[in-house]
Structure 1
Amino acid sequence: WITLLRPGQPLPSLKQLQAHDIDPKRIVFEITELGGDSQRLAEVVARYRQAGARIAIDDFGAGYSQLDRVLALRPDILKLDMRLFQAAALGGPSSEVVRALAQMAEKTGCWIIAEGVETEAQLNFALECGARYVQGYLFAQAQLNWFAADAFVSRFAVLRQAYVQQKLAERGRIMLLRQQLIELMQILQGWVLAQEPLNQLPWLPGFPRLLRFYQCDRHGTQLTPNFEWRQDAWQADGRYLGHNWSWRPYFYHLLAEGWEERRVILSTTYRDATTNQYCLTAGQFFDNGQRLLLIDIDAAGL
Structure 2
Amino acid sequence: MIDGQPLACFQPFIDTATGRIAGVEALGRLRQTQGQLTSVGPLFADPRTPATALRRLDRQVRDNALSRFHEAPPDWFLSLNMSPRWISRLRADQALPSLKQLARHGVDPRRIVFEITELGGNSQRLSEVVARYRDAGARIAIDDFGAGYSQLDRVLALQPDILKLDMRLFQAAALGGPSSDVVKALAQMAERTGCWIIAEGVETEAQLNFALECGSRYVQGFLFARAQEAFFATDAFVQHFAELRQAYVKQKLAERGKLMSMRRQLGELMTILQNWAQTRAPLSALPQLDAFPWLLRFYQCDRQGTQLTPNLEWRQSGWVADNRYLGHNWSWRPYFYHLLAEGWEERRLTLSNTYRDATSNQYCLTAGQFFDNGERLLLIDIDAAGL
The residue that corresponds to 1:3 in the other structure is 88
- For 2:186 and 2:230, the matched residues in 1 are separated by 33
Could you list the per-position Cα deviations for residues 82-102 of structure 1 after superposition, in whole angstroms to 9, with x for gaps in the alignment?
Answer: 110000000000000100100
Aligned residue in 1 for 2:189:
104
**Number of the residue aligned with 2:256:** 171
Conserved 8 A contact 2:119-2:150: no
Alignment deviations for residues 95-152 of structure 1 (CA, whole Å, 9 cap, x no partner): 0010010001001111110011011110000000000000011111111111111111
Q: TM-score, normalised by structure 2?
A: 0.77
Partner of 2:53: none
Specify the alignment match of 1:196 in structure 2.
281
Decide which structure has the larger Cα Rg and report it: 2
C-alpha distance in structure 1 between counterparts of 2:375 and 2:350, whole Å: 16
User: In angstroms, what is the RMSD of aligned CA positions?
Assistant: 0.7
Q: Secondary structure at the match of 2:313?
A: strand
Question: How far apart are the structure 2 equivalents of 1:208 and 1:4?
Answer: 63
Provide the C-alpha distance between the structure 2 equivalents of 1:295 and 1:7, rounded to a whole number of angstroms.
61
C-alpha displacement of 1:64: 4.2
- Distance across 2 between alignment mates of 1:35 and 1:225: 53
The counterpart of 1:44, out of the listed 106, 129, 132, is 129
Deviations 1:185-207, CA, capped at 9 Å, x for gaps? 00000000111100110000000
Q: Percent identity?
A: 81
1:256 maps to: 341
Q: Counterparts of 1:254-293 in structure 2 under 5 Å?
A: 254-293=339-378
Matched, 1:72 2:157: yes
SS at match of 2:374: coil
Q: Name the residue aligned to 2:139.
A: 54
Other-structure match for 2:221: 136
The letter of the residue matching 2:200 is: E
Three-state SS of the structure 2 residue aligned to 1:235 is strand
- The CA distance in 2 between the partners of 1:68 and 1:108, in whole Å, is 14
Structure 1 regions of 5+ residues with no counterpart?
none
Q: Which residue of 1 is the match for residue 303 of structure 2?
A: 218
Residue identity matched to 2:226: Q
Matched, 1:17 2:117: no
Cα offset, 1:62, TM superposition: 1.5
Offset at 1:217? 0.3
Q: Which residue of 2 aligns with 1:90?
A: 175
Distance in 1 (alpha carbons) for counterparts of 2:376 and 2:176: 37
Normalised to the residue count of structure 1, the TM-score between the two structures is 0.99
Q: SS of 1:205's equivalent?
A: coil
Aligned equivalents of 1:255, 1:63: Cα separation in 2: 39
- Given the alignment of the two structures, is residue 118 of structure 1 paired with residue 206 of structure 2, yes or no? no
CA deviation after TM superposition for structure 1 residue 31, in Å? 0.3
136-145 or 14-23, which deviates more: 136-145
Residue type at the aligned position of 1:57: I
Deviations 1:204-243 (A, max 9, x none): 0000000000000011000000000001000000000000
Measure how far apart 1:33 and its partner are.
2.0
Cα displacement (A) at 1:281: 0.1
| Matched residue type, 1:182 | G
Aligned-partner Cα distance in 2 for 1:170–1:63 = 33
Match of 1:185 in 2: 270
User: Paired residue for 2:292?
Assistant: 207
Letter in 2 for 1:195: R
